[in-house]
Amino acid sequence: MEVMKNNSLDPVTFEVLKNSFINLVDQMSEQIIRTCYSFVIYNRDFSSALCDANGNIVMQGTQDIAVHVGTLHLTAKAIIEYFQEDIHPGDVFLINDPYRGGTHFSDVRVIRPVFYRKTLIAFIQSNGHWADVGGGMPGSFDVSSKAHFGEGVRIPPTRIWSKGNYLKDVANLIVSNMRVPEERFGDLRSQVEATKVAEKELLRLIDKYTIDKVLLAFAEVQNYVERLTREKLKQLPNGTWETIDYIDMDPDFGDGMIPIKVKLSIKDDQIVYDLDGTHSTIGCFLNATFGSSLSGLYAGTKTFFPDIPLNSGFYRVIEASLPKGSVVHADWPVAVSGFCSGPFEKIMNACFELWSHIMPEKALACSFNLEYLLIGGWDQREGYNQFFMWYDWMVGGHGGRISKDGANAMSPVFGAGLSVQPCEGQERLTPVITSYHKIMTDSGGPGEYRGGCGVEKGGTLTAIQDAVMSVCCDRSRSVTWGIFGGLPSNPHGNWLNPQTDKEEFLGAFFSNVSLKEGDRFTRPSAGGGGLGDPLKRNPQSVLEDVKDGYVSIARAEKDYGVVIKAIDPDVVYYEILQEETSRKRNYIRENRKAWLTEEPQNVIIKYREGVIGKLDLIRQYGVIIDFSTNTVLEKTTQQFREMLHKRSVAYWE
């Protein structure tokens, strides 16, 4: 471990340079926003960083995507390791290799070394999510891939500019293997120019403050973050905490969720994570490499230390053991493109739960799972006649907090800086019409503090040819959970041609579903899990939720035991029935533990007969079914009930 030293820069210069580094990275972001070609990148699926000459992150920007930032130092080090002394002024490198510290193949990093008087002093890095990098499916998300060969072009450390000379043949070789290559060229140029902007700003700072002070500030901002983090850890108790979360399934085996075990230890001023016991890699793309899993630990931890800047000084405080060959440490050539919906967000939410026990004043229940929907095909609208990519992600609910409800309709924890893609822009660029995009009633997990609500989004295909749909998501079975007595939200899952005789449940992740003009789809996102016993929620708060459309009258009674009468809904006039509420809460309190032991086959009969609904299955009985066949998943139900007993039942009176 590096020995920490007190700042040798005067406090004013240190603070000015620290914030100048943040501004430098943010200038890169502004350049990308104004020059990128891809609608995906335009909506902020990108990140940037300033690294020192050893590849360590000196500073990130203010809206960077969490998963990217925790890996940018690894890809900078991969460039250093591969090229060693063969790095020169005017060089620019590309890399997207998940097995060399990246995330997935869509995240393409542009890395520019910076020299001062022939001495290498820094690396500037721009990472953008390219909407397609080749592979078997438009958008490069193929659920069926078991090896990376179907997921797109793998770019190892590659020189794309050599001493200022553009290597056009290399760029053509890479981009020609991707769909809509003109967009890919545009994004490449945008990212390269962003690194040039940052280089110019860094050299300006050197001219103003001298090279010695700037390099000293590189080291001191990292030492400052390390020192600050360790001081905060010293105020916390030593100990070990552990939990488990799940990926929905391995498609090769069907029933049974895939465990990710996370153990957290605090040892004085050091954090140690151990994921031993996590399941081996699975037969689809929901695996993660070492770098992306490590980033999940960084991001999950950082959530509980929001006032600390993020750079490699923070990383020094965290040690991690990630078992090789597991879903959190997949090696080449295992498929990993769906890591973000798989292990990454499970690791982050597991961290939320563990740190909620250590720092209950910042407690946070599970948040909804990242969801990408991709439609690719031929755009036959008049004046277009070209290949199109409709690439969309959903907002959803964040988990309930220790003193307030979870946030509604938020970007996923994977990337809090992500923007919601405007429907008008999507409709102009692609032959997909958004039919509705609305808050989904009853999606927030019940609790003393309710989870935030998810949304439902529907779309219709217009003038298309040879189009297919893919979805990267999870938590149709490992439903977003609550803590400290709170209850789960709702399952993810997509429907094609809903409420027609062609209705089909597609599930939470799939690829290569053929589409034709006029097809409709709908996709709900989950809400956040609840925090605290729902029977302790203030009935007046439940009433306000009903007025706002966040909770229905029926679920107010079922989930919270609050009986509400609608006097005049047109003028939002409702009334709590106090005596009925008292009786209902007592009834739930006396019976709810027994409901979670009821034979699942008896429960599914009630569901098929319409006696109970989908949310009753999950919240009241803890039964998980396959919604395409309406059959009980016995092993998954057992695992889900075990989670409920640990996170919910154990906190009920």
Which pLDDT tens digit goes with each residue over 106-146?
Answer: 999 999 999 999 999 999 999 999 999 999 888 888 888 89
Place of tokens 């200022």: 164
Q: Is 232 helix (H, G, I), strand (E, B) or coil?
A: helix
Length of the chain: 653
Residue 65 pLDDT class (50, 70, 90 cuts) = confident
Place of tokens 């217009």: 462
DSSP string, 247-277: ES--TTT-SS-EEEEEEEEEETTEEEEE-TT
Residue 91 pLDDT class (50, 70, 90 cuts) = very high
| Residue 497 pLDDT | 95
Measure the CA–CA gap between 216 and 228, rounded to whole angstroms: 18
| Residue 367 pLDDT | 96
Mind listing the pLDDT tens digit for each residue in 620-649? 999 999 988 999 999 999 999 999 999 999
The percent of residues above 90 in pLDDT, for the chain, comes to 87
In single-letter form, the type of residue at position 361 comes to: E
Closest CA to 225 of 444, 381, 7, 447: 7
* 117: exposed, middle or buried (Cβ count in 10 Å: 0-12, 13-18, 19+): exposed
- Is the predicted pLDDT of residue 47 greater than 90, yes or no? yes
Report H helices in 303-395.
Answer: 312-315, 345-358
Q: Is 510 helix (H, G, I), strand (E, B) or coil?
A: strand
The residues with which 300 forms a beta bridge, in sequence order, are none
- Is the predicted pLDDT of residue 576 greater than 70, yes or no? yes
| Residue 109 pLDDT | 97
- Is the predicted pLDDT of residue 15 greater than 90, yes or no? yes
Whole-model pTM: value is 0.94
- Is the predicted pLDDT of residue 1 greater than 60, yes or no? no
Mind listing the pLDDT tens digit for each residue in 270-318? 999 999 999 999 999 999 999 999 999 999 999 999 999 889 999 999 9
> From the centroid of its chain, how far is CA 129?
13
Q: Side-chain half-sphere of 152: how many Cα atoms within 13 Å?
A: 31
Is the torsion defined by CA of 457, 458, 464, 468 positive or negative? Answer: positive
| Residue 69 pLDDT | 79
The residues with which 272 forms a beta bridge, in sequence order, are 265, 319
Residue 7 pLDDT class (50, 70, 90 cuts) = low
In single-letter form, the type of residue at position 587 comes to: Y
Please state whether beta strands 318-321 and 270-274 pair in parallel, antiparallel, or not at all (unpaired): parallel
The mean per-residue pLDDT over the stretch 374-380 comes to 93
Residue 299 sits at φ, ψ, to 5 deg, of -65, -40
Mind listing the pLDDT tens digit for each residue in 496-521? 999 899 999 998 888 899 999 999 99
Residue 369 pLDDT class (50, 70, 90 cuts) = very high
Long-range pairs for 114-120 at CB < 8 Å and ≥24 separation? Answer: 114/199, 114/202, 114/203, 115/88, 115/89, 116/203, 116/206, 116/211, 117/211, 118/89, 120/53, 120/87
Mind listing the pLDDT tens digit for each residue in 207-253? 999 999 999 999 999 999 999 999 999 999 999 999 999 999 999 88
Residue 5 pLDDT class (50, 70, 90 cuts) = very low
Two tokens at 605? 């009969």
Query: Buried b / exposed e across 497-528, counting CB within 10 Å, b at 16+?
Result: eeeeeeeeebbbbbbebebeeebbbbbbbbbb
The mean per-residue pLDDT over the stretch 18-36 comes to 95
Is the torsion defined by CA of 33, 37, 43, 49 positive or negative? Answer: negative
> What is the C-alpha R_g of the chain?
25
Measure the CA–CA gap between 400 and 453, rounded to whole angstroms: 10
Instruction: For Cα atoms 406, 408, 410, give the angle at the middle one, nearest 5 degrees.
Output: 105
Mind listing the pLDDT tens digit for each residue in 52-64? 999 999 998 888 8
Residue 43 pLDDT class (50, 70, 90 cuts) = confident
> From the centroid of its chain, how far is CA 468?
24
| Residue 127 pLDDT | 95
| Residue 105 pLDDT | 94
